[in-house]
Amino acid sequence: MSNRADRRHFQDLLREHEGIVFKVAGLYAQHAEDRRDLAQEIGLQAWRSFARFDPGKAKFSTWLYRVALNVAISQLRKTSGPGSGRLEPLEQHHLDSLHADPLPEADERLAALYAFIGQLDALNRALILLYLEDKSYAEIADILGISETNVATKIGRIKQTLRGQMTGAAMAGA
């Protein structure tokens, strides 16, 4: 393909899967401007590495998640030093812009879930994002570059911790 055809193909694929970019940017950046900057950086890095994308080895969505999460986690690590403030751990107000209004009876449970997700480190946050996106353990392993066994173990531990926190919160509220 010519460079122009490659660019057009990339733009079409990116447009089709732009939700991935916005979800990842929304999960790792606090302010709207930072989310836009991160989404642009993800797009740029995806374009730079598009020549290495092999449709025979992975779906575009899987490859894009890998690129997006690598960029977001790298940016988080670069900017998370004292006083940086550009990218921060996820908090409830970050998620408000990502989701439609939940049902009123679910508000408290969703708030607790979002708070829990916000406390996770960058890798575990990525794991939960992909898990909540209904990705298989094989897809998650491929995207994050870890084994399926490691994915299953980490997700199991996260679920166990979440159950404990939700049970504890329910008991405290009773």
Q: Between 92 and 162, name the one with better pLDDT.
A: 162
Backbone angles phi, psi at 147, to 5 degrees: -75, 155
Q: What is the pTM of this model?
A: 0.68
| Model pLDDT, residue 103 | 46
Give residue 170's pLDDT band: very low, low, confident or very high (50, 70, 90).
low
DSSP string, 75-119: HHHHH-STT--SS----HHHHHTTSPPPPGGGHHHHHHHHHHHHH
pLDDT tens-digit profile of 72-91?
Answer: 988 877 766 544 444 444 44
Domains (range + CATH), the chain: 1-88 (1.10.1740.10), 90-174 (1.10.10.10)
One-letter amino acid at 124 equals N
